[in-house]
A and B are shown apart, each in its own frame.
Chain A
C-alpha cells in the first residue's frame, strides 16, 4: 500500500511538471493555431536563466522566477515581432520550418555560449523532502505542482474574467469576427505568444532544482508536452492539466508494475486509445485540429 501511495504521489508530482511545460503550448496552439516546435528550447533557455542566476549570483531558483519569467515574456514578444508574426498568415510549412529553424538556432547558441555540460544546481532545496509517514514527497516537485495549479487557475481567471482575456478567447474562436469587433489581432497574438513563452520561464525556474540543464534538455520534455496537449484537447487548459497528470501517473505506475522501459509503450497505447474514442482529445472542441491544419 505504501508503495502504491508513493507511486501515486510521485506520478501526480511528475504530472505537475508536465502540466507546467504544456500550458503555454496549449495556449499558443489554441489561440494562434500554430505549432511551436521550439517550445522545448524556450524551456531550455528558462532553465539556463534560473541556473545562471543561481550559479553567478546565488539567487534562489524560486526567486529567479521573478526575473526569468518577464525575460522570457519579452523574448516571446521579440520572437513574435521578428518571426512568428511574419509567418502566421503564410502556409503551414513556412511556420513549421521557421520554428524548427528557431529550435536549431537556440540549441546551438546554447551550445556555444553555455557548452554542452550537464549542469545541476547543488543547493539543499533540490534534495529536500517532506516526510508524511512512510511517504517521501520531493519538495521541489511539490512546489512545481502547487505552482502549476496556481498558474492554471490564474490563467483561467485571466481568460474568462478580464477584457483582454475575453479578447484572446474571441480571437481564438473566430479571428475575423474578432477583428470586426475591433480586437487588434496582432496585439492579441503577440500577448498570447509572450504569455505562452513566459510560463516556460516559471517552468524552467521550478525545474532547475529537479533536473539537470543542457542545451538539448528541451527534447526531453517537448514530445511529452505535445502528447499531453493532444491528449487533453488542443487549446484546452483543463485538458492540459488532466492530460499532464494522466501521463505522469501512467508513466510511474507502468514503469513500476510493468517495466521502466515499457512506460512509453503504455502511454502511447493509452494515447491512441483515447484518440480513437475521442478524436479531439479529452476536452477538445470539435474542429480545433482541422481549423489549425486547414
Chain B
C-alpha cells in the first residue's frame, strides 16, 4: 500500500537508529557499567522471569541513585527457551559487548547460558536457578549467590527433626515421610538431597511419587496413593499450576497429612496464597525468606530491605514476591559489593572481587551471608522455613529469623478448620 519507497525509508531509519545506538553504547562504555540481564520474560516461565527482572531493576535504581556511584546500565534480553537462551546470550556477548550477565532462572536455561559465557570468559551471575550441576563443573566464571537444589532437602529435614517431631510427639525415626515431586531437574534434584538428609537423620521415606507438571490435569490417583500410604509428613516439590491443583483436589478428596512441607517454587509465589486464602494456612515452605525477622539482619541489610519493598511497590504498583526479592538481593551484591569496587565489568577483576567477599549471615535482605567457594557457589546461603499464615508467607525457622511461631502442626482436617 505504501510502496517500496516507504519501506526503504523505514529501513533506512531503522539502520540509522541502530547505528547511532551502537555508537552511543561504545562511547559510554567508559563511564557506565553495562550488565546483561537474561531472563524468560515471555512463555511459560514468564511469571518468575519477570519478577527477577523487576527485582534487578530496583537493585540498579538504588545503586545508581547514590552519589559518586558508577552508573549501572542494564541490557535486557528475553530467553523463553534454551535455543533463545543460547542465541541471546551469544548476542549479548558478541554484539552488545557485555562482560557480565545476570540470569537466568530456569535451570536448563542457566546450564545452556553458562556454556556460552564460560567459553567467552564472561561472568554469569546466576540469581535463581538451583540445579547443583551449574556450579559443580568447575567453571571459572559462574557465580551463584542463591542456594542450589541440594540445600532445600537438608533444611526441610532439619526443621522436621528439630520442630515437627517433638510437636507430634514422635521420635525422628518414627516420622514417616512421603515424597511428591514434579519429574523435572528441579524436582529430582531437591528430592534426591531430601532423601539423603532423611537417611542421615534416620527418618524413614515410605514412598516417592513423581509426575510431569506440564501434562498433569488430575491428581486423584496421586492423592489416593498418599491416602493409602498415610505418611506423617508430605514433602513436595511443585510448580505453580500443579501446586494449586494438588491442594484443591486434596481438599475435595478430604486428604490431609499431618504436615505438608514444600520446597520453594509453587508454594513460594503470592499466587498460591491468593488461590487458597485461609485454606493455604499451615502449609510449610522451605526456601529463601520473604518476610523474616529483620532484627537478624545487619543495619545496612535492614535498610536495603525496607528500601526495596518501598521502591518495588512504587515502581511496579504491587508487592514483590519472594523470587523478586531474592533476585534483587543477589543483584544488589553484584552491583554494590562487586562492580562498585572493581569499577569495571572485566571478568577477571569481577571474579577476584567476588571470591574475596566475606559477608556474615544476615548481611543481605534475604538473610544470607556471602562467601563463594572456588566453583562460584555461595556457601552462606541460609535456607529458611516459612509457613502460610493468614494469607502471608512468614518465616518460622531458624529461630533468629522467625517472625512468628509455626501453627497447625499437625494440620487440622479440612472440615475442622475455622
Contact = CB atoms under 8 A, between A and B. Distances in A.
Interface of A: 3, 6-7, 10-11, 14, 17, 107-108, 111, 115-120, 122, 126-129, 136, 138, 210-212, 214-217, 219-221, 223-224, 248, 251-253, 255-256, 259-261, 263-264
B253 interface: yes
Nearest to B215: A264
Contacts of B274: 119-120, 122
A220 B241 contact: yes
B179 to A, nearest CB: 12
Contacts of A138: 249, 252
Q: By CB atoms of chain B within 10 A, which of A10, A11, A251 has the most?
A: A10
B151 interface: no
Given A6-B224, A10-B218, A220-B217, A127 B252 contact: yes
Contact of B271 (A118, A223, A260): A118
A251 B218 contact: yes
Contact of A7 (B43, B215, B220, B245): B220
Given A10-B218, A14-B217, A117 B244 contact: no
Given A14-B217, A252-B220, A118 B42 contact: no
Contacts of A263: 215-216
Contacts of A256: 220-221, 224-225
Given A111-B46, A115-B47, A216-B43, A6 B275 contact: no
Contacts of A115: 47, 50
B228 interface: yes
A39 to B, nearest CB: 16
B330 interface: no
A49 B214 CA distance: 22
B212 interface: yes
B240 A212 contact: yes
Interface string B195-221: 000000000000001111011111011
Interface in B97-153: none
B275 A212 contact: yes
Candidate in B44, B50, B228, B277 with the most chain A CB atoms within 10 angstroms: B44
Given A127-B252, A214-B241, A219-B44, 14 more contacts: A3-B224, A116-B46, A117-B271, A119-B275, A120-B275, A129-B252, A129-B254, A136-B252, A210-B248, A221-B217, A253-B221, A256-B224, A260-B221, A264-B215
A133 to B, nearest CB: 13
B224 A7 contact: yes
Nearest to B275: A120
Q: How large is the interface on B (under 10, 10 to 19, 20 to 34, 35 or more residues)?
A: 35 or more
Contacts, number: 126
B221 A212 contact: no
Nearest to B277: A122
B211 A255 contact: yes
B311 interface: no
A118 B228 contact: no
Given A17-B217, A252-B220, A264-B212, A120 B244 contact: yes
Nearest to B241: A212
A108 B183 CA distance: 27
B224 A118 contact: no
Contacts of B287: none
Given A6-B224, A7-B221, A212-B240, A117 B215 contact: no
B271 to A, nearest CB: 4
3 interchain residue pairs of minimum CB distance: A256-B221, A116-B47, A120-B275
6 contacts: A138-B252, A212-B241, A212-B245, A217-B241, A220-B217, A263-B215
A136 B254 contact: yes
Contacts of A210: 245, 248
B392 interface: no
A7 B253 CA distance: 11
Interface in B278-315: 279
B222 interface: yes
A77 to B, nearest CB: 25
A120 B210 CA distance: 23
A214 to B, nearest CB: 7
A219 B216 CA distance: 12
B251 interface: yes
A196 B50 CA distance: 34
A14 B210 CA distance: 19
B276 interface: yes
A214 B222 CA distance: 23
A44 to B, nearest CB: 12
Interface in B33-63: 42-44, 46-50
B336 interface: no
Given A116-B50, A136-B253, A212-B271, A261 B244 contact: no
B269 interface: yes
Nearest to B213: A220
A136 B252 CA distance: 7
B251 A127 contact: yes
A246 to B, nearest CB: 14
A271 to B, nearest CB: 14
Contact of B245 (A136, A211, A255): A211
A114 to B, nearest CB: 11
A292 B272 CA distance: 44
Contacts of B212: 260-261, 264
A256 B223 CA distance: 9
A259 to B, nearest CB: 8
Contact of B183 (A3, A216, A261): A261
B241 A252 contact: no
A261 B221 CA distance: 11
Contacts of B252: 127-129, 136, 138
A216 B253 CA distance: 27
Nearest to B279: A127
Nearest to B247: A127
A277 B89 CA distance: 48
**Most central of B224, B271, B275 by chain A CB within 10 Å:** B224
Contacts of B224: 3, 6-7, 256
Interface in B227-254: 228, 240-241, 244-245, 248-249, 251-254
